[in-house]
Amino acid sequence: MSNFLETSLAELQTGLRNRDFSSRELTEFFLNRIDEKDGEIKAFLSLAPKKALKKAEEADKRFASGDENLPPLLGIPLAVKDVLAVEGLPATAGSKILEGFMPPYTSTAVSKLLDAGMIVLGKTNTDEFAMGSSTENSAYFTSRNPWDTSRVPGGSSGGSAASVASQMAPFALGTDTGGSVRQPAAFCGVTGLKPTYGRVSRYGLIAYGSSLDSVGVFGRSAADSAALFSVMAGKDPLDATSLDMPVPEINLNGSTNLKGMKIGVPKEYFVEGIQAAVEEKVREAIKQFESLGAEIIDVQLPHTQYAVPVYYLIAPAEASANLARFDGVRYGLRVENDDVIEMVKESRGAGFGEEVKRRIMLGTYALSSGYYDAYYGQAQKVRTLIQNDFLEVYKTVDMIAAPVAPTTAFKIGMHTDDPLAMYLEDVYTLPANLAGVPGLAFPVGFDQKNLPIGMQLMGRHFEEEKLFHAVHAYQNDTNWHTKSPKV
Ligand code: GLN
């Protein structure tokens, strides 16, 4: 087999095990594809071809050894967002302040996948410190949407989504603090999971908003992504907020009928500003869920309108604290100066980009004495109201169906002079992060410009499996997830 573009994970696993092809062939295939396509897409910040091929050869030896206890993802390539530490590979978080930084250890999410046999191809582009919705805030370059390279791939995990959509990697890891897995998945037409907060360890993730950050995964289908999620999830002694809720292998074979499942549709997610084609395709998909046996129920999430202001206080507040460690002493960039205070100031001044500085100022202001109660404290209270909206609705439905973003992928440059317009793109994704619930984004059609449209199912805490079950049933019945751009 020389073409792995349409191959599912199960087919890759069987093919490798039967030695129809080798991990070396598979890995070379994706590395060649990166060689051919990434000049245009610009999904990767750094590549590790030599290491990847060496790992592939090791995997092939294990396949040849006759060992019966091979790890489940042995020999399968993976791209990793550049906010996750992988020992021996650079980790910039899309920032100049971390240029040249080599983490001495590997993040737990990645190390679990490595233990399961996966092979890292390279690190993908991201908005600086994951702050953004388009990759335009990357200090290095803007990644392109494979469906239309004059448009953004979404963000902040835009490089990861673009790498999977353009089939330069079968899988990629991303992080979702306010939508950064789901929104680029929607913009690029791939399937992306944001797990329950705490379900996947954050150890080795360069922190943005610690009470919101979650490590997620992109794949070409729900079934494929589920396999990686079950490996990544679980308690990690190195992350005190990780939960002791391991995920047993998810078996989706029987997921064809959704009888008994109740799906809520919140009216607050279909309001002015939503692109007509997005609403139409999401509603069509909801009908499809109904025809698969699910019961569709109108629900209300009345505090949805506060998600943008609440998030844009809490996330910058946490970011301003998390970013204090970048002082020119411990990591990456230093602007030399004999005066240590000046050195710190100049290093931070030169190392951080505009959006990061904006958020540090927003966050520091919201946390400063005299304003703390009015901004940060108030935001925390409203966050609880948003959370309670979800808990209330989950008394009657199993999950919530909604669009991921109000529009399809926008043109590069469209929002760069207007941060507020960029923040408003996040209106449908932020609530799940504030509530800590899981969300699974997947493609449901195209607009008139042939740009992918995504929707999301948001579940109860710890009920990722149900989301996979529902989307797998949908994907069994439709073929949106099999469409690929002509890159
Ligand atoms: N777009 C949002 C922000 O800029 C979310 C980013 C994310 O999830 N990392 O904060």
CA of 130 to the centre of ligand 1 (A): 6
What is residue 254's predicted lDDT score, i.e. its pLDDT? 73
Question: What is the CB-side half-sphere exposure of residue 105 using CA atoms within 13 A?
Answer: 9
Provide the 10 A C-beta neighbour count for residue 324.
11
Whether 81 is catalytic is yes
156 lines ligand 1 (CB under 6 A): yes
At the topology level, CATH places domain 9-264+396-482 in: Amidase signature (AS) enzymes (3.90.1300)
| Any atom of ligand 1 within 6 Å of the Cβ of 132 | yes
Ligand 1 proximity of 176 Cβ (cutoff 6 Å): yes
- Residue 315, ligand 1, Cβ within 6 A: yes
Q: Say what the pLDDT of residue 256 is.
A: 79
At residue 193, the 3 state secondary structure works out as strand
Largest CA distance in the chain: 70
pLDDT band (50, 70, 90) for residue 331? confident
Instruction: Answer yes or no: is the C-beta of 207 below 6 A from any ligand 1 atom.
Output: no
Q: Which atom of ligand 1 is nearest to the CA of 426?
A: 1
Angle between helices 23-41 and 9-17 (to 10 degrees): 140
Tell me the pLDDT of the chain averaged across its residues.
96
Question: Is pLDDT at 47 greater than 90 in this prediction?
Answer: yes
Residue 374 φ/ψ, nearest 5 degrees = -70, -35
Residues 274/282, Cβ–Cβ less than 8 Å: no
- Report the SS3 class of residue 31: helix
The candidate with the shortest Cα–Cα distance to 219, out of 165, 159, 143, is 165
Six token digits for residue 107: 């993040």
354 DSSP 8-state letter: H
- Closest-lying ligand 1 atom to the alpha carbon of residue 312: 10
Segment 165-181, tens digit of pLDDT:
999 999 999 999 999 99
Predicted confidence at residue 119, as pLDDT, reads: 98
Whether 156 sits among the annotated catalytic residues: the reply is yes
Q: Which of 107, 133, 157, 180 is catalytic?
A: 180
Distance CA(482)–CA(301), nearest Å, equals 32
Who contacts 201 (Cβ-Cβ below 8 Å, separation ≥6)?
A: 107, 108, 109, 215, 234, 235, 236, 238, 239, 242
Catalytic residue among 81, 112, 194, 466: 81
pLDDT in tens, 255-290: 779 999 999 999 999 988 899 999 999 999 999 999
Structure tokens at 196: 């329950």
**Cα distance between residue 98 and residue 328, in whole Å:** 10
List beta partners, residue 440.
193, 457
Check 156, 157, 201, 225 and give the catalytic one.
156
Q: Is it the case that residue 27 has pLDDT exceeding 60?
A: yes
Residue 182: per-residue pLDDT: 98
Ligand 1 centre distance from Cα of residue 426 (Å) = 8
State the DSSP string of 121-159.
Answer: EEEE--SGGG--SSSTT-SS----BTTBTTB---SSTHH
Distance CA 194, CA 255 (A): 21
Arithmetic mean of pLDDT, 77-86: 98
Cα atoms in the 13 Å half-sphere on the side-chain side of 139:
20
pLDDT of 245 over the 90 cut:
no
- My answer on whether omega of the bond before 156 falls inside 30° of 0, hence cis, is yes
Q: 35: CA distance to ligand 1 center in Å?
A: 29
Distance 93 CA to ligand 1 centre (A): 13
Q: Indicate the length of the chain as a whole number.
A: 487
pLDDT of 2 reads 58
How many angstroms is it from 423 CA to the middle of ligand 1? Answer: 8
Q: What is the pTM of this model?
A: 0.97
Q: How many CB atoms lie within 10 A of CB 245?
A: 14
pLDDT range class, residue 76, cuts 50, 70, 90: very high
| Active site annotation includes 54 | no
Tell whether the model's pLDDT for residue 220 goes beyond 90: yes
Is the pLDDT higher at 424 or at 58? 58
Q: d(Cα 206, Cα 334) in Å, to the nearest integer? A: 19
Least confident of 65-74, 241-250, 400-409, 447-456: 241-250
Average pLDDT over residues 468-487: 95
Q: What percentage of the chain carries pLDDT values higher than 70? A: 100
pLDDT of residue 163: 98
- Hey, which residues does 123 pair with through a beta bridge? 46, 80
Ligand 1: does its nearest atom lie under 6 Å from the Cβ of 318? Answer: no
Label each residue of 66-110 as H, E or C.
CCCCCCCCCCCEEEEECCECCCCCCCCCCCHHHCCCCCCCCCHHH
